[in-house]
Structure 1
């Protein structure tokens, strides 16, 4: 039987949708394989053992960090799009029995907007599919678990989650999948301790390749009821 990463790559190569991938990656065997793969990522085993889950600093604290730093860029991104943390309708698990994959779901959910900034993804409908393709390349079973749980959450029918609902019919994007597959080191990082690190330096450290020129700054409608604005990643300063 193929492992989760091999199966995910095969699904990407045949142009599957994210929704089609969910049941194929939710088997008991692949959950166990996902747990083992995650525990092999440097740093992740300790994060899971600690149930590491630090609070976010106040936006004003991050905004005061040096221009070009990860924290300053994150604060600017959140302000630009009028976002708040903990957007997605999903119940986090951090108890003693949480599996590595379930803990990864929590970390990916909490760090979703960090990934937007690290990967230079806007909040548009198109870039939401792109960033989920990025996560699919990085942790396919964790993403499938997240999407399966979000799909049955009672709040998902709210207008503010329209482009989350639309994700299930979105095709896995090859470029973004490969960017995520190359950035698995991100899963073992304590991102909330890296606010002062220059953003471009952090991208290089995590193996996050630059987006193709035609995709960087790709704006468009945000149908989740969020704020549709000009793209954030449009200048050298913001992309730094």
Structure 2
């Protein structure tokens, strides 16, 4: 299909609905529990249990003027996020500068998740171009979600962000990871409010505007506090209260999070 200035619901191709594959999800969650740095397993779990959620999100995205504009302009978010020199020059306190500092502190690059996502089934390569752009944009914005939501890359922060993400996307794979992760984490750190923090992440995700439709390109130059107000993102008070405890325990146990690219 050739795109001109706009994309219509009547002419665009839709991503194929996938069947649920629970056995693949179970194998992937076991591998993830065995090696928490194996981020590729996260993509396998999400893919195995996504069902029709990807199609639903894509249709919602393309039903909006903002979504059609992003697709028609063939935006490449990863290229913008990889321009560290530009981000570093943005004023202190802006989303773009906060993102740059977050990535620099964690020794990450925007390409890190791209490499991990390549472990998911290759059928994604056969997606229609519009659906692939949407999926890639969701993946590439992951660390922007970290910065705007206030959740760090520690184990609890990743778990709470996944709860936030589940509220936004309703992907069964994400929900499955949250339930298993919260159960395991609460056993390792009982009595400090792990489930409360996870539920707060879900509520915050439900209360926020739909982030897959966010115009990140224009938001990068705005103050982070203003972006959070614009997107309706509430502060993660419970997570902020107990994060020092869980992070200290992770450090004592020698646990780490996603590898740098």
Same fold (TM over 0.5): yes
Structure 2 residue aligned with 1:198:
223
Structure 1, gaps ≥5 residues long: 1-17, 148-165, 228-240
Contact 2:204/2:233 (CA < 8 Å) preserved in 1?
yes
1:140 to 154, 170, 189: 170
**Mapped pair 1:224 → 2:251:** no
Contact 1:86/1:109 (CA < 8 Å) preserved in 2?
no
Structure 2, gaps ≥5 residues long: 1-41, 183-194
Structure 2 residue aligned with 1:154:
none
* 1:168/1:47 CA distance change after superposition, 3 Å: farther
Contact 2:153/2:257 (CA < 8 Å) preserved in 1?
no
1:129 Cα offset (Å): 0.9
Once the two structures are superposed, the pairs formed by residues 14-25 of structure 1 within 5 Å of their partners are none
1:97 to 103, 121, 128: 128
- Structure 2 SS opposite 1:216: helix
Compare CA radii of gyration and give the structure with the larger one: 2
1:111 Cα offset (Å): 0.9
Structure 2 residue aligned with 1:61:
86
Q: Which has the higher helix share?
A: 2
The root-mean-square deviation of aligned C-alpha atoms, in Å, is 3.5
2:95 to 57, 64, 70: 70
**Mapped pair 1:115 → 2:145:** yes
* 1:182/1:43 CA distance change after superposition, 3 Å: farther
1:68 Cα offset (Å): 0.8
Structure 1 residue aligned with 2:60:
37
- Structure 2 SS opposite 1:48: helix
Task: Say which structure, 1 or 2, has more relative contact order (CA 8 Å, 6+ apart).
Answer: 1
- Structure 1 SS opposite 2:240: coil
Moved more, 106-115 or 36-45: 36-45
Contact 1:69/1:198 (CA < 8 Å) preserved in 2?
yes
Structure-2-length-normalised TM-score: 0.59
- Structure 1 SS opposite 2:117: coil
Contact 2:95/2:220 (CA < 8 Å) preserved in 1?
yes
Find the aligned partners of 1:34 and 1:207 in 2 and give their Cα distance: 19
Corresponding pairs, count: 186
